Chain A
Amino acid sequence: MKYCKKCNVSVNSPVLRCPLCYATLIPRGNSPEPLAYPVSSQGALRYNMVLRILLFLSLSVNTICITINLLTAPGRLWFLIVLASSVYMWITIGTSLRKGRKLGFSVLSQGICLSGMVMLLDYFLETHNNWAFNYALPLLFLCATLCISIIVIVKHIAIRDFILYFVLTALLGFIPLILIALGLVTVLWPSLVSIIYSGLALASIFIFADHATKIELKKRFHI
């Protein structure tokens, strides 16, 4: 035990100065002061060099592209494609590298990001045949739902572990329905395939759902 004259308190930690006022402590008694907490083993914060190089590269590439684009062809903003690709790359890195991330989540996020990408490409490449709405989007959604179906079947994963992403990905497949209603689709069959497959996938969940799956649905979608 030690004593601080200025604060008028005894101090029972292995320190030489008062933790309150930094005055030198006076020893009292011979018993050594115990540590109140183990010496903290906190290391330095993590520093990921590879990710930082990638971040710096995408920053430089985008800055250079924007400058060149605006100097040479200010009417045609192609740098947006470069920018979108970088954003897509970072979303992919973010969703797949994080600890504990689910496969289902990756499929869903890829489905959403890639559909954004193809619409942007279609817009800038000015293909005039609407390939994004006619082919790319419906087939992309079809692939995503198919992917999850295959994962569930092949990996023998209980459907309840995948239910949230399964339902959300299947719901994506209905987006072509909205596109048809808006008159943006000229070639019908890819959209129809996507809608029908999604509808059947959703129906299968509800038809084959056992008690556990129903509870899982309730948990995941409770409001």
Chain B
Amino acid sequence: MKNSEKTRDIWYQLDNAANLFPSISGNSNTNVFRLTCALREPVDPGRLQAALEAAIDSFPYFEVVMRRGLFWFYLERTNLRPVAEPESGRPCGRIFYKHIKELLFRVTYFQNNINLEVFHAISDGTGAFDFLRAILYSYLVSAHRDSLPEELPILDREPPPVQQAEDSFNRYYTPDKTKSPFKQRAFTIGGTLLPNESIRIITATLPTSQMLALAKSKGVTITAYLTSLMILSVYQELMPKRAIERTVSVTVPVDLRGHFTSETSRNFFSVMDIGYNFSKGGDSFEEVLAHVTRKLQEKTNPQVLARAFGYTMSVQKNPFSRFTPLVLKNHILKAAYVKRERATTCAPSNLGRITMPEPFVPYIDHFSCLLNPTHLHRWKACICSFEDALVISFTSCIAETRAHKAFIRHLSAQGLDICVTCNGGADDEIL
């Protein structure tokens, strides 16, 4: 048993992106994302628990609870141990409650799936994937020790604890005193909200090689292709004629670890807003694609990215926001968040290619990722690929599936072999 008083002495300030999440989270806007690894065999709960305990010891940064100070929330290390549980409740369900000291992630299993659900304030997709891969590593080693090579491969990203907990925003930002870049209001998706905060999940699995070939044939990246398709699907299926003056804008997260050296497990991403106004440009896929590709290229420049988080860092660092008591700050942040979300329509997010050391590959079928939709961003998509399985997971809180249909039909019309799965069964009332 670790000394609990000593553990509590270790604490972390929230990073720039994380500051927002505890203030705005609730039952529907949970700010929880889920990473899933589908194995080729049913999950053994005992093994998973042992693997989880081994992984948390090499990722101690995840063993934290949220506490409140007078001016800011902060993370405090704890002795609470994570428990792997059978999956229940809705995916991406609420984890964080202001007054309850609990771990800010949850590991569940269902049939062949191992799910890691994380409250966004402690980590982003890349950081959480590192943790999930550490869990998988221990799990597969214990389950298949005999068929794995004598000398085990090592994971490529398993940084020392101090580097895991580094606030990389703080390390790389340069102050930027420009005005708020989030002024313009974009088109917001309407539709029929699902009851009881439930969400609809539709997942399309397709061969990575086919998708790559399709994107290459147009001379663009997969991100650019799918982002453009999402914009076009919203325009064709969800946008009323009268709203055509409004820009359809999507917010695309970028992992900053690719542009600035960092091994942090905490949030280190920025977002690019890519907008397309159909009243000014044409409505063919090629036109949207050309625009999106150009914008993505402009915005993935490290200087532009640094400017994006330089602005939010400057806001966080100014004396007015520092000395505002947390009770007031919560309300200010909520208002700022609503304004920010209204500047974009929806959110496609590409986590890219997930890798595992070669000997583990045969045991894993695919990875997938789910984002929690919100009342302002009612349709979200998350893309990740493992070997030849590219998984596009759509989550939405509305009953309409027209945009999903337009998106997937476009891909299947290009000759891609798509397999669709959804949540709910034949007798589900929401279908």
Contact = CB atoms under 8 A, between A and B. Distances in A.
A124 B405 CA distance: 66
Given A44-B196, A45-B196, A100-B101, A14 B408 contact: no
Interface string B373-395: 00000000000000000000000
A15 B425 contact: yes
A42 B28 CA distance: 13
Interface stretch (B69-77, B238-246, B258-266, B342-350): B69-77
B99 interface: yes
Interface in B186-220: 196-198, 201-204
A219 B419 contact: no
Given A7-B408, A20-B401, A219-B76, A42 B198 contact: yes
Contacts of A10: 417-420
Contact of B89 (A4, A41, A158, A211): A41
B91 interface: yes
Given A7-B409, A9-B419, A100-B101, A164 B425 contact: no
Contact of B100 (A14, A99, A160, A223): A99
Interface string B97-129: 111110000000011000000000000000000
By secondary structure, the A interface counts as loop
B147 interface: no
A19 B424 CA distance: 10
B184 interface: no
Interface of A: 1, 4, 7-21, 34-42, 44-45, 98-101, 158, 160, 164, 168, 211-212, 215, 219-223
Contacts of A39: 424-425
Interface of B: 5, 8-9, 11, 13, 67, 69-72, 74, 76, 86-91, 97-101, 110-111, 196-198, 201-204, 322-323, 401, 404-405, 408-409, 412-413, 417-426, 431
A15 B422 contact: yes
Given A12-B421, A41-B88, A222-B13, A19 B204 contact: no
Given A9-B418, A13-B421, A19 B401 contact: yes
A79 B5 CA distance: 51
A15 B97 contact: no
Top 6 A-B pairs ranked by shortest CB distance?
A100-B99, A19-B422, A20-B405, A8-B412, A9-B418, A220-B69
Contacts of B408: 7, 9, 20
Contacts of B11: 215, 219
B333 to A, nearest CB: 16
Contacts of B420: 4, 7, 9-13, 18-20
B99 A212 contact: no
Contacts of B13: 222
A207 B220 CA distance: 66
Given A19-B420, A42-B197, A42-B198, 11 more contacts: A9-B408, A11-B421, A15-B431, A20-B409, A21-B401, A38-B110, A39-B425, A41-B89, A211-B9, A219-B76, A222-B72
B409 A8 contact: yes
A100 B156 CA distance: 40
A117 to B, nearest CB: 20
Contact of B69 (A16, A19, A42, A221): A221
B323 A8 contact: no
Contacts of A7: 405, 408-409, 412, 420
